[in-house]
Amino acid sequence: MYLIDTYDVIVVGAGHAGCEAALAAARMGCRTLLTTISLDNVAMMPCNPAVGGPGKSHLVKEIDALGGEMGIAADATAVQMRMLNRGKGPAVYALRAQSDKGAYHRYMKNVVENTDNLDLKQVQVMDIIVEDGKCVGITTELDEEYRAKAVILCTGTYLDSMIIIGDTMYSGGPNGMRPSVGLSANLKKHGLEILRFKTGTPSRVDRRSLHMDKMELEEGDPENHAFSFMSERKDRNKRNCWLTYTNEKTHEIIRENIMRAPKYAGKIHGIGARYCPSIEDKVVRFADKDRHQLFVEPEGLDTTEMYVQGMSTSMPIDVQYAFLRTIPGFEDVKMMRPAYAIEYDLPDPLQLYPTLEVIKLPGLYSAGQSNGTSGYEEAAAQGLVAGINAALKIQGKDPFILARHEAYIGSLVDDLVTKGADEPYRMMTSRSEYRLILRQDNADLRLTEKGHSIGLVGEERYARFLERKKKYEEAMDYIRTQRFTPKEEINRALESMGTAPLTTGTGADQILKRPEMTYWKMMEMLGCPAFDEEAVEEMEITVKYEGYIARQEAAVRKAARMENEKLSLDMDYLSLDGISIEARQKMDKIRPLSLGQAARIPGVSPADISVLMVYVKQRKGKKGAEERRLKIKTACPVLEMGEAVFVGNIIFRADTISV
């Protein structure tokens, strides 16, 4: 082996997790190396050409609030933006951007290449270097050696990955890239437990072969949007999407060929994503459905490739052509890239602390799709967490762990390291029990202070945040203090808006709480002052949902008592009597950091937690007694018989205590 260089942090893999991890570590002052099998892989979008959507937009907004890059990149390269779930409550509003895949890759690669403290190299990592039980570097297929204080694995779907299309199976990575062969086996040798998952992607078709007049047009929003508060809210709509549907003829072709599908033929052994099933799975599992919707999405501004969202499959190529041509608008379709399934290895996330460091191998971190998630947003969020914590550990600072009530990122990481992943994990709003207070619109208000305190949010971004916060506080101050009296002109205006007149003096916030009322109406008809658009949006949600928010905040305070009860890392769970064997084994493996985390481990019952609480109190009592003895010993090392000394407000005598 030839030692090439030494770094603070090495990141293996330059996908969405790897980019965020490397950027975070470098921006926090660590000399960082980002490695990739191919420089063309940097922030590549091998699946859908989009960022955001239900649950996922919350992650992007939180990444941005903490100082990450995904939101800014999505804004810079979007070709369409839409706010989803507008017919539902604000907790599930979800911004989604259609991205130009090539532009996104080029944008992120440019950011990485021009970031101080960060090197980008094309290498094939073969193994990690372990010395004295710690990870201290990597080796490559060219017998190169790179040393580091921390290594972050962001290997995505590349570990021993296998492409599957009908009867054809070959070693390969996404979009025709090289797989990572050898690293998975070496991780096993170092004691890591490895799982095997499966995911898939639809075909890409040539736009020129489609009949758009037979599909439903899906335009972007007329309103201006942005993921990042660093980006201008503006019209980003440059391309349209289209909606079409499968039909009974489509389903008939799939059913007739179902045993040619690799999954049903027993050729796929990896566990697939339940929330993103293939079209053959949909036809089998939802046999009562006579059609399934398909979104036809542009891959970019400079390509005719279109992505068929909802049509993931690994069926043979002749079957793919046959069922595609039954779909309205696809009668003469030409395929540019076939759909495929991909199987890949990944480390079991139950081996990780909430910092994403491997429990039994200090210095090694794991983040992204290689932790069992699906989606660019989930990967980027984990990469950010791992990069931050690797930098903090190197700097000798406390770890950065977001609680479930603080961020969707907190729920994502906690679910992975506490419950594990028995299938590819997808972030959804339903996974957060605190979703009403963890909205996408208030991510910056929740998290930017934290990002600034750890050194990731720079001064320009922080100044922009303080200005945003000031505007919100001004809007809130007005709505809380302004009152309206039942004057004739006020009541006439209220009645014209379809709401009841006033009978007594009423606060502006109480008027705004009326279901039919908006602040924009109050500005127009009642003469209320104009505020920043984002500040008004945040203020209106806060006022209208005040009661629900208060209940969730009470639940947070209740849960905090369990979260604040910390558990020692050296707790000997296997020797604890009164706790079930299953609970002891699982807690010994997961090493929970708090009673709250322990209570969320599958297989750990409330009775187990009650017993564990007793042990924690006993341990605290013993620790406290030992600290008192040490304090006395330090304060009075030698006493003559009968001599007394004050320790705090307690008198100790030499004839009553041994020192």
Both tokens of 141, joined, read 């297929």
Measured distance CA(547)–CA(407) in Å, rounded? 20
Count of Cβ atoms closer than 10 Å to residue 470 Cβ: 12
Measured distance CA(537)–CA(224) in Å, rounded? 13
* C-beta of residue 367 within 8 angstroms of C-beta of residue 34: no
Q: What pLDDT is attached to residue 558?
A: 84
Asked if residue 313 has pLDDT above 90, the reply is: yes
pLDDT band for 659, please (50, 70, 90 cuts). very low
Measured distance CA(540)–CA(538) in Å, rounded? 6
Q: What is the pLDDT of residues 408-446, one digit of tens each?
A: 999 999 999 999 999 999 999 999 999 999 999 999 999
Asked if residue 649 has pLDDT above 80, the reply is: no
Q: What pLDDT is attached to residue 503?
A: 93
Name the DSSP letter for residue 370.
G
In the chain, what percentage of residues exceed pLDDT 70? 94
DSSP result, 167-232: TEEEE--GGGPPPB-SHHHHHHHTT--EEEEEEEE--EEEGGG--GGGSEEEPPPSS-B-S-TTS-
More confident residue, 560 or 234: 234
Asked if residue 145 has pLDDT above 80, the reply is: yes
Three-state SS at 646: strand
The residue-averaged pLDDT of 61-88 equals 96
Q: What pLDDT is attached to residue 156?
A: 96
The contacts of residue 335 (CB under 8 Å, 6+ apart) are 203, 204, 205, 206, 317, 320, 321, 324
Q: What is the pLDDT of residues 296-307, one digit of tens each?
A: 999 999 999 999
Asked if residue 658 has pLDDT above 60, the reply is: no
Q: What pLDDT is attached to residue 629?
A: 65
Q: What pLDDT is attached to residue 642?
A: 52
Q: What pLDDT is attached to residue 643?
A: 54
Measured distance CA(205)–CA(318) in Å, rounded? 15
Both tokens of 219, joined, read 């335009």
Instruction: Output the CA–CA distances (angstroms, integers) from residue 318 to 117, 205, 257, 315, 500, in the order listed.
Output: 50, 15, 10, 8, 65
Q: What pLDDT is attached to residue 627?
A: 61
Task: Phi first, then psi: give them for residue 53, nearest 5 degrees.
Answer: 110, 180
Q: What is the pLDDT of residues 374-385, one digit of tens each?
A: 999 999 999 999
* C-beta of residue 186 within 8 angstroms of C-beta of residue 45: no
Return the amino acid letter for 41.
N
The residue-averaged pLDDT of 510-535 equals 93
pLDDT band for 623, please (50, 70, 90 cuts). low
Q: What pLDDT is attached to residue 269?
A: 84
* C-beta of residue 318 within 8 angstroms of C-beta of residue 168: no
Strands 144-153 and 364-366, by their bridges, are parallel
Asked if residue 590 has pLDDT above 60, the reply is: yes
Count of Cβ atoms closer than 10 Å to residue 59 Cβ: 32
Q: What pLDDT is attached to residue 656?
A: 47
Measured distance CA(251)–CA(255) in Å, rounded? 6
In the chain, what percentage of residues exceed pLDDT 90? 83
Q: What is the pLDDT of residues 359-418, one digit of tens each?
A: 999 999 999 999 999 999 999 999 999 999 999 999 999 999 999 999 999 999 999 999
Cα angle 90-94-95, degrees, rounded to a multiple of 5 = 125
The residue-averaged pLDDT of 621-643 equals 59
The contacts of residue 353 (CB under 8 Å, 6+ apart) are 359, 399, 417, 591, 593
Task: Phi first, then psi: give them for residue 648, nearest 5 degrees.
Answer: 70, -125
* C-beta of residue 292 within 8 angstroms of C-beta of residue 282: yes
The residue-averaged pLDDT of 68-83 equals 98
Q: What is the CA radius of gyration of the chain?
A: 28
pTM of the model: 0.91
* C-beta of residue 370 within 8 angstroms of C-beta of residue 352: no
The residue-averaged pLDDT of 499-524 equals 94
Measured distance CA(659)–CA(633) in Å, rounded? 6
The residue-averaged pLDDT of 314-336 equals 97
Both tokens of 439, joined, read 């909205």
* C-beta of residue 636 within 8 angstroms of C-beta of residue 619: no
Q: What pLDDT is attached to residue 427?
A: 94
pLDDT band for 570, please (50, 70, 90 cuts). confident
Measured distance CA(261)–CA(184) in Å, rounded? 27
From the DSSP assignment, how many helices (H) and strands (E) are in the chain? 20, 24
Both tokens of 64, joined, read 């941005």
Taking every pair of Cα atoms in the chain, the longest distance, rounded to a whole number of angstroms, is 104
Measured distance CA(331)–CA(246) in Å, rounded? 12
